[in-house]
């Protein structure tokens, strides 16, 4: 059987389905831009679910990310955040969080200060916006409330005892207990994603609440690994609080983690409902920059796919998601072989000290862009004025150390889409 090539035409093609790619599609749709998005899961399912704006500067945690941004822009003028104003970042976050809210996934509102948020082993880090299911952790932590943390028989990588041990000196009224999850009592390994899907069934919730109630004692809050549903997390969270009569919060687990899977599934479903053409779980194999349009080539189980676009945003992430690759000698952009800003020679990739407070030069490699987020070469010449980039594929940032992954993705996509919207409106 000869399979026919499927062809899509759009004003914008977004390459990547991480936070940067999805944010770009959200912003483009709300500006009436006809958009096709291509990408597979990438790092999205690994995320804690927290949206960091700027959690650290010069190896110090920040309470006020806006103050940190001011210093960052002065000290690192090449950082992508130096190309986006505070006002634009606030608008970008508001628009993104509101869009998620409308899709049915609620987050805390972006504000002035970072929240101190819990991590799987009981460490804490500053973050800007939290999933609503995790929000009560900040109240519980600041009042040092009596909290029962539970984990599950068969669950690996999340230990309530470990969290209590790590936090006990600052938070004495923490306790740990282990439970069997309903219908998963054999002692075999259990997975947060499977429990989360089981929580979508009312009878499972009722039985789980009954078991929790039996051990809650005088706890003021119950904390648990993130597993309160995939598609209706806020509803399930509220239902469980009602059944239990106690406030509940989730703590992120190690990857792949439920909050990331929630984001992936809701975005995948809703972006197409809202009018985007979504080619899921596929990667663009080749790009051709023709005079009239940019053509993207890929294939899926139904055959060849060709996307013709007037503009492209490359939001393909770093090494983990396949946006960048490296050999023994250099770092390369994996799809188009675009020029990459990087240290001269592999011997300069890493600092002598693993814990160097300035980080490792290799982590600041990536694509260079102008103020419109059009990709440039090393002599600051635009490669093609229809090609933009956003997210952590960009150079001059160290998102892990600076704790700015989601913020960078959201803010830079906002800026790139606005530039494209302006260009398109000037043409029509």
The binding site for ligand FAD (CB under 6 A) comprises: 15-21, 38-44, 46-48, 50-52, 255, 283-284, 315-317, 320-323, 335, 391-392, 405-406, 409
Say which residue the tokens 């409330």 belong to: 145
In the complex, the smallest distance separating the C-beta of residue 417 from ligand FAD, rounded to whole angstroms, is 14
244 vs 307 by CB, closer to ligand FAD: 307
> Quick one: three-class SS letters along 133-186?
HHCHHHHHHHCCCCEEEEEECCECCCCHHHHHHHHCCCCCCEEEEEECECCECC
223 vs 392 by CB, closer to ligand FAD: 392
In the complex, the smallest distance separating the C-beta of residue 204 from ligand FAD, rounded to whole angstroms, is 28
182 vs 252 by CB, closer to ligand FAD: 252
The gap from C-alpha 258 to its chain's centroid, in whole angstroms, comes to 12
Please give the Cα distance from 52 to 271 (Å, whole number): 23
In the complex, the smallest distance separating the C-beta of residue 66 from ligand FAD, rounded to whole angstroms, is 16
In the complex, the smallest distance separating the C-beta of residue 153 from ligand FAD, rounded to whole angstroms, is 25
What are the beta bridge partners of residue 184?
A: 181
40 vs 98 by CB, closer to ligand FAD: 40
11 vs 52 by CB, closer to ligand FAD: 52
40 vs 269 by CB, closer to ligand FAD: 40
- Reduced DSSP (H G I as helix, E B as strand, rest coil) percent helix, strand, coil of the chain, to 5: 35, 25, 40
Whether the Cβ atoms of residue 111 and residue 98 lie closer than 8 Å to each other: no
Residue from 5, 13, 3 nearest 308 by CA? 13
184 vs 410 by CB, closer to ligand FAD: 410
In the complex, the smallest distance separating the C-beta of residue 212 from ligand FAD, rounded to whole angstroms, is 27
In the complex, the smallest distance separating the C-beta of residue 243 from ligand FAD, rounded to whole angstroms, is 29
In the complex, the smallest distance separating the C-beta of residue 255 from ligand FAD, rounded to whole angstroms, is 5
Q: What is the DSSP string of 234-274?
A: HHHHHHHHHHHTS-EEEE--SSS-HHHHHHHHHHHHHHHHT
Longest dimension (CA), the chain: 70
In Å, how far are 116, 119, 226 from 163, measured between CA atoms?
A: 15, 9, 14
Give the SS3 label for residue 286: strand
In the complex, the smallest distance separating the C-beta of residue 261 from ligand FAD, rounded to whole angstroms, is 12
In the complex, the smallest distance separating the C-beta of residue 322 from ligand FAD, rounded to whole angstroms, is 4
User: Dihedral angle at the C-alpha atoms of 95, 16, 252, 228, nearest 10 degrees?
Assistant: 70
176 vs 420 by CB, closer to ligand FAD: 420
177 vs 299 by CB, closer to ligand FAD: 299
What are the beta bridge partners of residue 140?
A: none
In the complex, the smallest distance separating the C-beta of residue 398 from ligand FAD, rounded to whole angstroms, is 12
Whether the Cβ atoms of residue 217 and residue 177 lie closer than 8 Å to each other: no
Please give the Cα distance from 370 to 187 (Å, whole number): 55
Indicate the pairing of strand 147-152 with strand 124-127. Answer: unpaired
204 vs 402 by CB, closer to ligand FAD: 402
């Amino acid at each position: 059987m000869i399979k026919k090539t499927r062809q899509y035409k759009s004003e914008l093609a977004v390459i990547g389905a991480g936070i940067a790619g999805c944010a770009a599609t959200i912003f483009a749709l709300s500006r009436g831009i006809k958009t096709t998005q291509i990408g597979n899961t990438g790092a999205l399912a690994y995320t804690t679910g927290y949206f960091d704006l700027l959690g650290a500067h010069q190896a110090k945690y920040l309470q006020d990310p806006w103050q940190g941004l001011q210093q960052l822009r002065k000290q690192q003028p090449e950082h992508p955040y130096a190309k986006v104003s505070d006002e634009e970042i606030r608008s970008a976050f508001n628009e993104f969080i509101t869009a998620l809210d409308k899709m049915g996934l609620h987050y805390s509102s972006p504000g002035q200060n970072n929240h101190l948020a819990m991590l799987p082993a009981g460490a804490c880090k500053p973050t800007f916006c939290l999933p609503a299911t995790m929000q009560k952790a900040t109240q519980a932590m600041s009042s040092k409330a009596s909290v029962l943390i539970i984990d599950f028989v068969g669950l690996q990588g999340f230990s309530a005892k470990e969290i209590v041990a790590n936090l006990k000196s600052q938070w004495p009224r923490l306790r740990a207990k282990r439970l069997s999850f309903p219908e998963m009592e054999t002692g075999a390994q259990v997975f947060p994603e499977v429990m989360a899907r089981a929580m979508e069934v009312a009878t499972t919730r009722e039985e789980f609440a009954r078991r929790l109630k039996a051990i809650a004692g005088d706890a003021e809050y119950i904390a648990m690994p993130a597993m309160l549903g995939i598609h209706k997390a806020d509803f399930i969270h509220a239902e469980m609080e009602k059944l239990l009569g106690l406030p509940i919060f989730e703590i992120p687990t190690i990857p792949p983690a439920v909050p990331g899977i929630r984001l992936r599934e809701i975005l995948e479903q809703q972006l197409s409902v809202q009018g985007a053409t979504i080619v899921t779980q596929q990667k663009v194999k080749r790009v051709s920059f023709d005079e009239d349009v940019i053509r993207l080539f890929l294939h899926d189980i139904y055959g060849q796919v060709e996307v013709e676009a007037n503009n492209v945003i490359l939001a393909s992430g770093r090494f983990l998601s396949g946006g960048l690759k490296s050999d023994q000698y250099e770092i390369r952009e994996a799809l188009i072989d675009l020029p990459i800003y990087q240290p001269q020679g592999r011997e300069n990739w890493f600092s002598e000290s693993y814990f160097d407070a300035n980080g490792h030069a290799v982590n600041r490699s990536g694509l260079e862009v102008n103020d419109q987020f059009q990709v440039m070469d090393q002599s600051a010449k635009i490669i093609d004025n229809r090609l933009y980039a956003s997210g952590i594929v960009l150079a001059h940032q160290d998102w892990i150390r600076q704790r700015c992954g989601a913020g960078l993705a959201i803010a830079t996509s906002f800026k790139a889409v606005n530039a494209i919207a302006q260009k398109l409106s000037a043409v029509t």
